[in-house]
Chains A and B, each alone.
Chain A
Amino acid sequence: MLLIIIAVNLSGCVKIETKRYEASFLDLFDTITTIVGYAEDKEEFTDHAQMIHDKLMEYHELYDIYNSYDGINNIKTINDNAGVSPVKVDQRIIDLLKFSREAYQLTDGKVNEAFGAVLSVWHQYRTEGLDNPDKAEVPPMEILKEKEKHTDMNNVIINENESTVFLADPDMRLDVGAIAKGYAAERVCEYAMEHGFANGMLSVGGNVRTIGRKLDGGKEVSWSVGIQNPDLESAQTNLYILGLSDYSLVTSGVYERYYTVNGKQYHHIIDPDTLMPAEYFLSVSIVCRDSGMADALSTAVFNMPFEEGLKLIESLENTEALWVFKDETMKSSSGFENYIKK
């Protein structure tokens, strides 16, 4: 591997034609991951794509709440030891939980890593409902209310000196689904940039992080990133196309993951106040630099009435949002237009 990297660095002195490549993976974060970048040849790009994939895989295993891996203490390990004992974990888990805490405070609890007990009930009912649509049911509110008693963030005890995490409430579960993909994408993009990946894009399940610029016939231009039309059957794929360079764009929508009970769709973004799928919008998109923050904000703002979300977004620097209401009308924050590609 070292040989290849040296060869690339040497040839960097000479002006060389680069081609645009794209690679996709299905084995990360239960979704499709796509990497776009430039290289002189397929081998060079494969090295970069492989590096990004392997780094993402490390995060995927650490942040997994459903599966265990040999020799790794991950978030599932923390959950399995709730009320039992502190678990020694990789610093990257502690960093994620601290980031999540910041997001919790910023969004007044609209994203909560300790919400796993409630989310796991929805996950179970959704999975069963998809497997057996005729018997699909909505979780009874009594069960959800009971689980809600075990979502107090203060019972997540992080001990940085010992590198341990302990859930003091035995019925509590961590769920980092709202932030892990974006957070991991951000960390991995930083890593890739330090390792020679200068211009490209990373999409983890539609959470897009751009790196540098697009090389378009000798010119450098910003990347064109579309915002998915929530109406998946519409011929118009994108609501808007934004020009982004080193920025992230994350959309949370009702169409991503859902199941149907008696003809009504129940999507996967659960409002911590009502314990039901948030009912305000079809989708919310966030533009900002940090992909972890974009991920967290897209979930949080999706769970807030428009005025509250707008106030939050306007209070943040270099952060914009687009709301799509249930009647398909749209509203956006004050600086959103500046990102629209004409």
Chain B
Amino acid sequence: MIKKNDVILLGTILLLAAAAIIFINIRKTDGSRVVITIDGEEYKTLDLNKDTTLTIEVAEGAYNTVTVKNGEVDMTEANCPDKLCVKHRKIHYNGETIVCLPHKVVLQIVGGEESEADMIAK
């Protein structure tokens, strides 16, 4: 006995669940890309095989610059306070991330080469 209201409730629950999750990916090994999310919203996906530089205006006066070069992704510039994202090494393994916590910008590799490690303790 499924009532219309149950469906609406279930739909709402699923919607809320989707809103709270920042990104989910299934591990694939097809062409590698970097998915850029800002505060959980997917902003852009870049192909790792095409060299490019992208400056993202996160909010007024807040920016991050992403550089794709030779199959790797780097956060080359940002005006966040700690700049930990800029100091982070370049990434290219499937699932690797660079996070700018102050600006809530996440770069995550999808596809491509598998890293030796499933997770890194840091």
Residues on A facing B (Cβ under 8 Å): 1, 3, 19-27, 30-32, 34, 36, 42-43, 45-47, 49-50, 53, 127, 130-131, 201, 203, 206-208, 214, 223-228, 232-235, 237-238, 241, 249-251, 253, 255-257, 259, 285
- Interface of chain B residues 1 through 54 with chain A (CB within 8 A): 10, 13-14, 17-18, 20-27, 39-40
Selected A-B contacts with CB under 8 Å, 14 pairs: A20-B27, A25-B20, A25-B21, A30-B101, A31-B101, A43-B14, A50-B21, A130-B82, A131-B81, A206-B120, A207-B121, A226-B120, A227-B120, A228-B121
Are the C-beta atoms of A49 and B106 separated by less than 8 Å? no
CB-CB under 8 A from A234, the residues of chain B are: 89
> Please, what's the 1-or-0 string for B55-82, where 1 marks a CB less than 8 Å from any CB in chain A?
0000000000000000000000000011
CB proximity of A203 to chain B, nearest CB, Å? 5
Kindly report which residue of chain B lies nearest to residue A216, judged by CB atoms.
B118
Are the C-beta atoms of A34 and B119 separated by less than 8 Å? yes
Cα–Cα distance between A43 and B14 once the two chains are bound (Å) = 9
CB proximity of B97 to chain A, nearest CB, Å? 7
Provided the pairs A20-B26, A226-B116 are in contact, do residues A237 and B81 lie with their beta carbons within 8 angstroms?
no
Interchain CB contact (< 8 A) of B119 among A3, A23, A208, A259 = A208
Q: A47-B17, A49-B21, A203-B119 are in contact. List 12 more A-B contacts (CB 8 A).
A: A22-B25, A23-B23, A25-B21, A26-B22, A32-B101, A127-B81, A207-B121, A223-B118, A225-B121, A228-B121, A233-B87, A256-B122
CB-CB under 8 A from A241, the residues of chain B are: 116-117
CB proximity of A191 to chain B, nearest CB, Å? 17
Are the C-beta atoms of B122 and A224 separated by less than 8 Å? no
Provided the pairs A32-B99, A201-B119, A232-B87 are in contact, do residues A24 and B106 lie with their beta carbons within 8 angstroms?
yes
Interchain CB contact (< 8 A) of B104 among A26, A127, A225 = A26
Cα–Cα distance between A131 and B104 once the two chains are bound (Å) = 17
CB-CB under 8 A from B20, the residues of chain A are: 25, 27, 50, 53
Are the C-beta atoms of A237 and B24 separated by less than 8 Å? no
Are the C-beta atoms of B27 and A22 separated by less than 8 Å? yes
CB proximity of A204 to chain B, nearest CB, Å? 11
Kindly report which residue of chain A lies nearest to residue B39, judged by CB atoms.
A26
Are the C-beta atoms of A226 and B119 separated by less than 8 Å? yes
Q: How many A-B residue pairs have CB under 8 A?
A: 126
CB proximity of A310 to chain B, nearest CB, Å? 20
Cα–Cα distance between A207 and B121 once the two chains are bound (Å) = 6
Cα–Cα distance between A256 and B122 once the two chains are bound (Å) = 8
Residues on B facing A (Cβ under 8 Å): 10, 13-14, 17-18, 20-27, 39-40, 81-82, 87-89, 95, 97, 99, 101, 104, 106, 108, 115-122
Provided the pairs A23-B22, A131-B81, A232-B87 are in contact, do residues A250 and B97 lie with their beta carbons within 8 angstroms?
no
Are the C-beta atoms of A228 and B122 separated by less than 8 Å? yes
Are the C-beta atoms of A257 and B117 separated by less than 8 Å? no
Provided the pairs A26-B104, A130-B82, A232-B89 are in contact, do residues A49 and B24 lie with their beta carbons within 8 angstroms?
yes
CB-CB under 8 A from A43, the residues of chain B are: 14
Kindly report which residue of chain A lies nearest to residue B116, judged by CB atoms.
A241
Interchain CB contact (< 8 A) of A26 among B13, B26, B106, B118 = B106
Are the C-beta atoms of A24 and B23 separated by less than 8 Å? yes
Are the C-beta atoms of B89 and A226 separated by less than 8 Å? no
Cα–Cα distance between A255 and B116 once the two chains are bound (Å) = 22
CB proximity of B18 to chain A, nearest CB, Å? 7
CB-CB under 8 A from B17, the residues of chain A are: 46-47, 50
Which of B26, B97, B106 has its CB near the most chain A CB atoms (within 10 A)? B26
Provided the pairs A30-B101, A224-B116 are in contact, do residues A21 and B24 lie with their beta carbons within 8 angstroms?
yes
Which of A30, A225, A234, A253 has its CB near the most chain B CB atoms (within 10 A)? A225
CB proximity of B77 to chain A, nearest CB, Å? 15
CB-CB under 8 A from A47, the residues of chain B are: 17
Kindly report which residue of chain A lies nearest to residue B17, judged by CB atoms.
A50
Cα–Cα distance between A197 and B98 once the two chains are bound (Å) = 27
Are the C-beta atoms of A253 and B101 separated by less than 8 Å? no
